[in-house]
Amino acid sequence: MSEAALSAGGKRRIAASDLAIPAAICIIAALPFFFTSSYWLSVLTLCALNVVLALGLNLILGYAGQLNLGYSAFYGIGAYAATLLIKLAGFEYWLALLCGGLAAGIAGVGLAMFAVRLKGHYLGIASLGFALVTYEILMNWVSLTQGPLGIYGVLPPPPIDIPGLVRITFVGSRSFFYLVAAVALVVYVLLNNLVRSPIGDNLRAIREDEVSAASLGINTAAWKIFAFGIGSMIAGIAGCLYASFVGTLVPDAFFITESFTLLAMVIVGGLASMPGAVAGAILLTVLPEALRSIGDLRLVIFGLAMTLVVLFMPGGLMQAWDTLRARRLRGPA
């Protein structure tokens, strides 16, 4: 390919990246007007929640290379911490949301500090054990969490008053979708800037070769703890939003199967890819719902689709997209 063509391709990619966020805002704003039923608005909200969770897990797994099989634990910690602060301590909703995220982040830092020397499947087993312990606490500490009976009557966020302009409420399905989608967009922008900064370079160096990274003066333990903490805090914020979304908290919503679902979203989308985490979360949220009409056969199709992606596109959906884009830019031979 000629140098001029390469230059033109680079300019097109830069222009596309500049338009990505405004395009996402327009799509988010338009979606509830195309999917007007309460069912599909709920699916859209669940998509946005899963995008938040997938982005947080992708930071830990995709960029820092830390296998976290217990991500659902931090999701549950944030949900229960925020809800109990509101119901028992009278916290204002937005403060409780931040505290729930901090509680999950602190739990993530605590786990990472104990497991910082573990790698690969050893770290995966440790995080899985943490998730099981967390689930048992939520299930059996009945005096605090109501155990299997659950916590009912979790209210939506309070209205936000913009003086002299408008009052934003979050009672309807459409307005709550906009709230969760806005959080997902903010998380995306913040993490995208983080992974493109020198911090992201440090995390990628640790993922590729921890010994070599340490020889270059990178504090591998500190950065792994940092990634675990930030990813866990994001899961905690998503947990608080989830509690308001469903109105009920039960421990089964945070069982380890949720961790494997989120892991599949990140892998299918493409590890260490911000757009990939978004695409994987949306695909693996919408696909089971779209196939629900065919009954249990949808599980076979769902599993087959995931298997084919892993076998033929190890880099996930982003690998397929990059391959198609490269062929288009290369043009005819």
Contacts of 121 (CB under 8 A, 6+ apart): 67
> Which phi and psi (to 5°) does residue 65 adopt?
70, 25
230 falls in which pLDDT band (50, 70, 90)?
very high
Residue burial 75-111, b: 16+ Cβ < 10 Å; e: rest: bbbbbbbbbbbbeeeebebeebbbbbbbbbbbbbbeb
Look at residue 4 in the predicted model and tell me its pLDDT.
Answer: 45
As a whole number of Å, the end-to-end CA separation of the chain is 9
The pLDDT of residue 221 is above 60? yes
Distance in angstroms (rounded) separating the CA atoms of residues 9 and 3? 10
List the chain domain ranges.
47-268
pLDDT confidence band for 165 (50 / 70 / 90): confident
Residues composing the chain: 333
C-alpha 186/C-alpha 52 separation (Å) is: 9
Mean pLDDT across the stretch 278-299? 82
Q: What pLDDT shows up at residue 29?
A: 94
Tell me what the pLDDT averaged over the chain comes to.
88
Of 157, 188, 208, 197, nearest in space to 281 by CA: 188
Considering only 23-37, 83-97, 151-165, 317-331, which range has the smallest mean pLDDT?
317-331
What's the gap between Cα 208 and its chain centre? 22
pLDDT at 5 over 90: no
Residue 170 phi, psi (nearest 5): -125, 30
pTM for this structure?
A: 0.91
Compute the 3-state secondary structure of the chain and give helix, strand, coil in percent, each to the nearest 5.
80, 5, 20
127-150 pLDDT, tens digit each: 999 999 999 999 999 999 999 999
Sign of CA dihedral 204, 205, 211, 216: negative
Check: CB of residue 233 under 8 Å from CB of residue 104: yes
What residues does 4 pair with on adjacent strands? none
- Measured between alpha carbons, how far is 70 from 67 in angstroms, rounded to an integer? 9
- pLDDT tens track for 77-107: 999 999 999 999 999 999 999 999 999 999 9
Q: Contact, 28 vs 185, CB < 8 A?
A: yes
CB 164 within 8 A of CB 106: no
pLDDT of 318: 82
Q: Give the residue carrying structure tokens 């830069």.
A: 14
pLDDT in tens, 177-219: 999 999 999 999 999 999 999 999 999 999 999 999 999 999 9
pLDDT at 332: 60
Are 238 and 281 spatial neighbours (Cβ–Cβ below 8 Å)?
no
The larger pLDDT score, comparing residue 27 to residue 300, is at 27
Dist. CA 266–CA 68, nearest whole Å = 12
What is the pLDDT confidence band of residue 6, given thresholds at 50, 70 and 90? very low
CA gap 178, 101 in Å, rounded:
20
> Cβ(228)–Cβ(111) under 8 Å?
yes
pLDDT at 17: 59
For residue 15, the cross-strand partners are: none
Most confident of 10-14, 34-38, 101-105, 259-263: 101-105
pLDDT band at 14 (very low <50, low <70, confident <90, very high): very low
